[in-house]
Amino acid sequence: MLIKQLSIFLENKSGRLNEVSQILGSNGINMSAFSVADTSEFGILRLIVSDPERACKVLRDNQFSVSLTDVVCLNCPNEPGALAKALQILSDNKISIEYLYAYSMGDSANVVLKPDQLELCIKVLQEHKMELVKASELYKI
């Protein structure tokens, strides 16, 4: 249930994002999801890729500061109120969300989230019959 997400430090310089995608592309690594968190000084690029360990290595070889973070991915129906239901469950169980990013694909949506308490989050979501995406499946998307 734990997804290995890449986090990459990027200075606010033009071309950095491009360079990351070039490196991954030329190494045959596919990106399933991504999000950029930015401040005025720098950004953190968060990626779900087809081969996180290898991606980490090739990026580090190219002088990027990379870390792997454990996140979870919730799959919920692509309809109004679906996300709200999941977030309510977390809130009731006093689980905070550091960040999340999501995308819809047809009937369902994938929500990648970083909770402050990973194990508890997984436990609670499973207890409520929420579907958690397996890492191997997510990397393939």
Partner 1 sequence: MIWNEKIECASREEMEVIQSERLCETVKRIYHNVPAYRKKMQEVGLTAYDIHGISDLHKLPFTIKTDLRDNYPYGLFTVPMSEIVRLHASSGTTGKPIVVGYTRKDIQMWAEVVSRSLTMAGVHRDDIVQIAYGYGLFTGGLGLHYGTENMGASVIPISGGNTHKQIQLMEDFGSSVLCCTPSYALNIAEVMKEMNVDIKNLKLRVGIFGAEPWSEAMRKDIEAKLGIKAIDIYGLSEIVGPGVSCECEHQCGMHINEDHFLPEIINPETLEPMAPGEVGELVFTTITKEGIPLIRYRTRDLTRLIYDKCVCGRTLVRMEKCKGRSDDMLIIRGVNVFPSQVESVLLSMSEVEPHYLIIVDREGTLDKMSLLVEVQEQFFSDEIKKLEDLRVKIARNLDSVLGISVNVKLVEPKTIERTAGKAKRVIDNRKI
CA nearest neighbour of 85 among 103, 109, 118: 109
Judged by CB under 8 A, which of 60, 85, 94, 134 binds partner 1?
60
CB 66 within 8 A of CB 56: yes
Stretch near partner 1 under the rule CB under 8 A, chosen from 26-34, 38-46, 86-94, 118-126 = 38-46
Cα 139 to Cα 127: distance, rounded to the nearest angstrom: 25
Q: Is residue 14 a contact residue for partner 1 (CB under 8 A)?
A: no
Q: Is residue 44 a contact residue for partner 1 (CB under 8 A)?
A: yes
Closest contact distance (angstroms) between CB of 72 and partner 1 is: 14
Q: Is residue 34 a contact residue for partner 1 (CB under 8 A)?
A: no
Which of 42, 84 has the CB closer to partner 1?
Answer: 42
Q: Is residue 64 a contact residue for partner 1 (CB under 8 A)?
A: yes
Stretch near partner 1 under the rule CB under 8 A, chosen from 8-16, 85-93, 104-112, 129-137 = 8-16
The DSSP-derived string for 32-101 is EEEEEEE-SSEEEEEEEES-HHHHHHHHHHTT--EEEEEEEEEEEESSTTHHHHHHHHHHHTT--EEEEE
